[in-house]
């Protein structure tokens, strides 16, 4: 089954003075359990593509079908609820909450999943153990390295057990050693747990480890 389908998707950003075409006539199908890498120069629409796939943004035209469900008619509240159940996000800059410790950061999405406090603690601890961060539960983000922060961010993205992980340059702020470790963690989630992953990257070597590569240029899918 196709986990993500984009049909004729376009996204235009307009101001009173200028119109910018971020995406134009994008047609993509991502199967369940697939690992897809998205590549292209900066400013070509890759992050906009992920935001639309993950229902953080709506297309100007075209249709987004997620897990077999057309999403165009969903209200903002319905889209948010569906997104929280279905999609996890991993960002280049981690986006951890500075005032919360590691355990609390991973627990945060579980508040929106309606999970009890005891189950939130248990689930977060399990995920942090899975990503090798169980020894840092009480540390704040400022006390972590980049690689450790990204591990916590991946655990947080997995909190509500999503079918899809959308990763936007997940190794972009890391050195080569940590980049390899984070990439291996994502590959394990895909190959061992069957998570569908779409990853934006500038790293050709990492992209080649995916099932396939989709290339963009000036908002258009070129390969």
How far is residue 151's CA from residue 157's CA, in Å, rounded to a whole number? Answer: 10
What pLDDT does residue 101 have? 97
Structure-token pair, residue 78: 């319905």
Q: Among residues of the chain, what percentage have pLDDT more than 70? A: 100
Question: Please, where are the H alpha helices in the chain?
Answer: 46-53, 76-86, 102-112, 117-130, 146-157, 176-193, 204-207
pLDDT tens-digit profile of 117-157?
899 999 999 999 999 999 999 999 999 999 999 999 999 99
13-67 confidence digits (pLDDT tens): 988 788 999 999 999 999 999 999 999 998 899 999 999 999 999 999 999 999 9
- How many residues are there in the chain? 223
Q: What is the pLDDT of residue 17?
A: 82
d(CA 122, CA 114): 14
């Amino acid at each position: 089954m196709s986990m993500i389908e984009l049909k004729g998707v376009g996204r235009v950003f307009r101001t009173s003075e200028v119109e910018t075409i971020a995406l134009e006539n994008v047609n993509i199908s991502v199967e369940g359990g697939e690992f897809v890498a998205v590549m292209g120069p900066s400013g070509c629409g890759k992050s906009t593509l992920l935001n639309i796939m993950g229902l953080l943004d709506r297309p100007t035209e075209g249709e987004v079908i997620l897990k077999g469900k057309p999403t165009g008619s969903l209200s903002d509240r319905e889209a948010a609820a569906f997104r929280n159940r279905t999609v996890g996000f991993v960002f280049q800059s981690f986006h951890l909450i500075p005032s919360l410790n590691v355990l609390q950061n991973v627990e945060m999405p579980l508040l929106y999943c309606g999970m009890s406090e005891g189950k939130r603690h248990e689930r977060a601890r399990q995920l942090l153990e899975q990503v090798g961060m169980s020894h840092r539960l009480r540390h704040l983000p400022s006390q972590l390295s980049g690689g450790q922060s990204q591990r916590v961010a991946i655990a947080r993205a997995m909190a509500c057990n999503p079918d899809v992980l959308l990763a936007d340059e997940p190794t972009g702020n890391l050195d080569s050693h940590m980049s390899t470790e984070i990439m291996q963690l994502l590959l394990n989630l895909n190959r061992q747990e069957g998570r569908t992953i779409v990853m934006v990257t500038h790293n050709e070597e990492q992209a080649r480890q995916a099932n396939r590569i989709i290339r963009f240029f000036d908002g258009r899918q070129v390969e």
